[in-house]
Amino acid sequence: MSSIGTGYDLSASTFSPDGRVFQVEYAMKAVENSSTAIGIRCKDGVVFGVEKLVLSKLYEQGSNKRIFNVDRHVGMAVAGLLADARSLSEVAREDASNFRSNYGHNIPLKHLSERVAMYVHAYTLYSAVRPFGCSFILGSYDQDDGPQLYMVDPSGISYGYWGCAIGKAKQAAKTEIEKLQMKDMTCRELVKEVAKIIYIVHDEVKDKSFELELSWVGEVTNGKHELVPKDVREEAEKYAKDSLEEEDDSDEDIM
């Protein structure tokens, strides 16, 4: 499954004979080892869900958040090396803030994601630095442009999405996301579906406990990106757990 670069993979400034930059591909592997994060755009907003694995019972609940606020109207969910993601969130914050300072209005998400992607890309050009080992999903809501969702990966490209997933279970998550009719859903409906998808893709055997981080931005929050309120979160988690049990039950019937 993994191919070895042997000699052409020592620095980001070297191409392999078949035209690949192995350091960037290795950076993407770092993202694939991290737990899953998903972002889905609906009719009136964007919802993020992150499967945050809890490695020790001694951790304070809610520490090492993987969803960041980049600007009032922009949120960022990350997968990969958390320290790399934190420094990129600072880059995104400064960019958004400078834009507002210069031009007097909120930065459009497409522009922000292109700027941060350009920054990430710069670290794939030189042997003196290593590429960022994280992917992230940016989401925002604006009254005129509506909800927007963009994803940036370690190679430095950004794409716009209706739904995307990053991390170890991204394939399984993408399959679940494709089943949704997100263009017709509202944020309140979507929050429950996002929680359900995270619960579905979570591997009970390999990874033990996890915390579900949920956040949203849309008409429901008046354009402000924030973590989902406690009551909505509990409702979403209950819906997710109940759906899983139902599926388990139906499997038993077939057998």
Nearer to another protein, 17 or 104 (CB): 104
Nearer to another protein, 21 or 116 (CB): 116
Structure tokens at 175: 């399959």
Spatial CB neighbours of 231, under 8 Å, sequence gap ≥ 6: none
Nearer to another protein, 118 or 125 (CB): 118
Q: Does residue 103 interact with another protein by CB under 8 A?
A: yes
**CB of 226: closest distance to another protein in angstroms?**
25
> How many helices, marked H, and strands, marked E, lie in the chain?
6, 10
Helices 187-201, 170-178: crossing angle, 10 deg rounding: 140
Size of the site for another protein (CB under 8 A): 8
Contacts within 8 Å (CB) and 24+ apart, 113-119 = 113/138, 113/150, 113/152, 113/158, 114/158, 116/88, 116/91, 116/92, 116/152, 116/158, 117/152, 117/156, 117/157, 117/158, 118/156, 119/88, 119/91, 119/156
Among 19, 56, 63, 144, indicate the residue that binds another protein (CB under 8 A).
144
Nearer to another protein, 118 or 157 (CB): 118
Question: Cβ atoms within 10 A of the Cβ of 148, count?
Answer: 22
Q: Does residue 105 interact with another protein by CB under 8 A?
A: yes
**CB of 66: closest distance to another protein in angstroms?**
30
Nearer to another protein, 7 or 104 (CB): 104
**CB of 110: closest distance to another protein in angstroms?**
8
Q: Does residue 104 interact with another protein by CB under 8 A?
A: yes
Asked if 39 contacts 167 with a C-beta cutoff of 8 angstroms, the reply is: no
Nearer to another protein, 111 or 238 (CB): 111
**CB of 120: closest distance to another protein in angstroms?**
18
Output the DSSP codes for 64-76: S--EEEEETTEEE
Q: Which of 208, 207, 220 is nearest to 46 (CA)?
A: 220
Beta strand extents in 81-208 (DSSP E only):
134-142, 146-152, 158-160, 163-166
**CB of 144: closest distance to another protein in angstroms?**
6
Of the candidate spans 95-103, 149-157, 183-191, 244-252, the one that interacts with another protein by CB under 8 A turns out to be 95-103
Q: Does residue 108 interact with another protein by CB under 8 A?
A: yes
Among 56, 61, 102, 250, indicate the residue that binds another protein (CB under 8 A).
102
Q: Does residue 111 interact with another protein by CB under 8 A?
A: yes
Q: Which parts of this chain interact with another protein (CB under 8 A)?
A: 101-105, 108, 111, 144
